[in-house]
Amino acid sequence: MALPNELRAWALRCLLECDPQAKVAAVAAMAAAHADGSCTLAVEAALAAPDGIPGRPARPELVLPRLVGRRSMVTVEGRAMLVHALAHIEFNAVNLALDALWRFPGMPQPYYTDWLRVAREEAIHYTLLARHLGTLGHAYGDFSAHGSLWEMVEKTSGDALARMALVPRTLEARGLDAIPPLRAKLAQAGDAVAAGILDIILRDEIGHVEIGNRWYGYLCRQRGVDPVATYEELLVRYKAPPVRGPFNRDARRQAGFTDGELDAWT
């Protein structure tokens, strides 16, 4: 895939790539090109949305969340299914970051470099999980998965404020709460490699959610709206899942949530 030298156009081309390994390689190349100054950034340019967003492979088969298979983690097959589910989340997160990078013109330059960082780190997470999945005798696509995260990306494609509020600040933030118990289960099952990968993911995801929180706050200030009331209104308008504990309070505080917010949602 020939890649452009403008950051947002490059991100769009990465987003359209269907092959996971090629997508990961293209994201790495984009990050390297930006780091060495050979990739420019046009923040005001409006880019037309082509067909085929997001690019993803024919497998895994996407099903309703309740139809995604689950097995005990005491078996290799069961652990492989969990690692596959995590790899699918991270693959979607790569697409999510790329979409946030290219879709919204007119944001300050740090917004785009923030989401470039997220795309690069999510690609690393996916690679770590896909590689470990291979040691368990499987590959990405071997099990079914669901697409609920991307559904909210599509719903919020017309408004950067709604995107920041409902994807990183809401859906991705749930991972901060979910990772520690999953890590404990994997460690108890004897999968130290998977547990270590989750340590990396939690560390990075705190920063990713913080980016969403920070740009949500920026857009609320820019538009002169109250962030608390606006957030509650967006949850209802976009039919987002309710925010409920128990919370990983330490991680959420690091990601920019206040104790007042967490207490109100508990």
User: Is 212 a member of any domain?
Assistant: yes
Query: How many domains does the structure of the chain reveal?
Result: 1
Please tell me the distance from the alpha carbon of residue 33 to that of residue 225, in angstroms, as a whole number. 37
- Residue type at 175 in one-letter notation: G
Please tell me the distance from the alpha carbon of residue 137 to that of residue 46, in angstroms, as a whole number. 44
User: Is 35 a member of any domain?
Assistant: no
Please tell me the distance from the alpha carbon of residue 24 to that of residue 122, in angstroms, as a whole number. 9
Domain containing residue 132: CATH number: 1.20.1260
The whole-number pLDDT of residue 3 equals 62
- Rounded mean pLDDT of 129-157? 94
User: Is 16 a member of any domain?
Assistant: no
What is the tens place of the pLDDT at every residue in 8-43? Answer: 999 999 999 999 999 999 999 999 999 999 999 988
Q: Residue 210: give the domain boundaries.
A: 64-265
User: Is 92 a member of any domain?
Assistant: yes
**pLDDT band per the 50, 70, 90 thresholds, residue 62:** confident
> 80, 136 in Cβ contact below 8 A?
yes
User: Is 93 a member of any domain?
Assistant: yes
- This prediction has a pTM of 0.95
Rounded alpha-carbon distances, angstroms, from residue 170 to 63, 185, 247, 259:
22, 24, 12, 16
- Rounded mean pLDDT of 104-113? 96
User: Is 43 a member of any domain?
Assistant: no
- 23: number of Cβ within 10 Å: 27
**pLDDT band per the 50, 70, 90 thresholds, residue 2:** low
What is the tens place of the pLDDT at every residue in 180-237? Answer: 999 999 999 999 999 999 999 999 999 999 999 999 999 999 999 999 999 999 999 9
User: Is 36 a member of any domain?
Assistant: no
| pLDDT above 70 (res 1) | no
Please tell me the distance from the alpha carbon of residue 263 to that of residue 266, in angstroms, as a whole number. 5
Q: Which two tokens stand for residue 107?
A: 């944001």
User: Is 169 a member of any domain?
Assistant: yes
